[in-house]
């Protein structure tokens, strides 16, 4: 089992799961998850790497935060966490809400990010996702980011049913086992927990602007692995291809959105050689 620590970083206190030793691998989760999204891959990775899996700012057991849910600030949180842990370089892995912060961190701090893995998300308004967005973004993006307090008012007292929908129908998956389901429901229960989660969605326009400004002046130079499943598929790859120097991409077949829990063995099959190829890079 990973060791849980509370680590001050960038003005917040992050709940962080730590396991193993060796080159660092930072894992950034999405919504509606916590660090426990990575439960089925941590043991394998920690046999060869130092695994660092935080609850993002305001999520799970990390301290509440009134602001800072934009991708740029979340990237700064990740950098500060690595510094606090004495890590000078890491492979950074992000899925869903963790993808944009992982991307910005690698774009801004290529000396800190040795390799980048991104999964099942879009990068703001970058070209390439037009087919995916032909019918508009998923309905919950608008619901979560509507008039402040609306989604919280509607959902308070019904959090379990809402999280269950995401873990099953909403993310085209197979659900998750009961202990993980209960942990995710607990993390998103209560008006303040919902508000913090939806703050990420309300910051998406700012995050998109940050991404657009960043790619206007820099290219992604670190080796990058883009993974898709359902529903994102190849959309993330198409966004990355024009701005990335070294991109490998795969779509994991017969897999829902929550790749680390739906198809952990398929994910590890792709991660192992990608991480091993960077073993000679500067590590901690």
Cα 86 to the center of its chain, rounded Å: 22
Angle, in degrees to the nearest 10, between helices 99-108 and 204-217: 30
Are 42 and 35 spatial neighbours (Cβ–Cβ below 8 Å)?
no
**What pLDDT is stored for residue 148 in this prediction?**
84
In tens, the pLDDT along 24-37 reads 999 999 999 999 99
Which secondary structure element, helix H or strand E, spans residue 269, and what is its range? helix 264-277
In tens, the pLDDT along 28-82 reads 999 999 999 999 999 999 999 999 999 999 999 999 999 999 999 999 999 999 9
State pTM to two decimals.
0.97
**What pLDDT is stored for residue 280 in this prediction?**
59
Which secondary structure element, helix H or strand E, spans residue 12, and what is its range? strand 12-19
Are 143 and 254 spatial neighbours (Cβ–Cβ below 8 Å)?
no
* Placement of tokens 């999405």 in the chain: 30
Residues forming beta bridges with residue 97, ordered by sequence position = none
Question: According to the CATH classification, is domain 3-134+209-277 in 1.10.600.10?
Answer: no
Residues contacting residue 221 through CB under 8 Å, at least 6 positions apart: 110, 245, 246
pLDDT of 176 > 50? The answer is yes
Domain layout of the chain by residue ranges: 3-134+209-277
In tens, the pLDDT along 77-112 reads 999 999 999 999 999 999 999 999 999 999 999 999
Pick from 107, 114, 113, 133: which is nearest to 122 by CA? Answer: 133
Residues contacting residue 247 through CB under 8 Å, at least 6 positions apart: 224, 225, 226, 237, 240, 241
């Amino acid at each position: 089992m990973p060791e849980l620590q509370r680590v001050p970083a960038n003005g917040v206190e992050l709940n962080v799961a730590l396991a193993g030793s060796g080159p660092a691998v930072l894992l950034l989760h999405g919504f509606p998850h916590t660090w426990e999204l990575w439960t089925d891959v941590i043991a394998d990775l920690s046999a060869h790497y130092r695994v660092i899996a935080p609850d993002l700012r305001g999520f799970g057991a990390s301290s509440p935060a009134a602001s800072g849910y934009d991708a740029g600030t979340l990237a700064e949180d990740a950098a500060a966490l690595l510094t606090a842990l004495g890590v000078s370089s890491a492979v950074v892995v992000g899925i869903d809400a963790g993808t944009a912060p992982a991307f910005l961190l690698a774009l801004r701090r290529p000396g800190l990010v040795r390799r980048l893995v991104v999964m099942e998300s879009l990068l703001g308004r970058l070209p390439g996702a037009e087919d995916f967005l032909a019918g508009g973004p998923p309905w919950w993006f608008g619901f979560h980011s509507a008039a402040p307090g609306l989604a919280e008012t509607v959902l308070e007292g019904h959090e379990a049913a809402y999280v269950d929908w995401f873990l099953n129908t909403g993310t085209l998956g197979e659900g998750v086992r009961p202990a993980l389901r209960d942990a995710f429901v607990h993390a998103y229960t209560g008006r303040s927990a919902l508000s913090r989660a939806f703050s990420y969605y309300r910051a998406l326009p700012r995050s998109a602007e940050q991404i657009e400004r960043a790619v206007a002046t820099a290219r992604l130079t670190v080796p990058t692995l883009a993974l898709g499943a359902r529903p994102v598929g190849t959309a993330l790859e198409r966004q990355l291809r024009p701005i990335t120097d070294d991109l490998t991409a795969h779509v994991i077949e017969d897999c829902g959105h929550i790749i680390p829990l739906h198809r952990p063995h398929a994910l590890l099959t792709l991660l192992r050689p990608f991480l091993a190829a960077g073993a000679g890079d500067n590590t901690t």
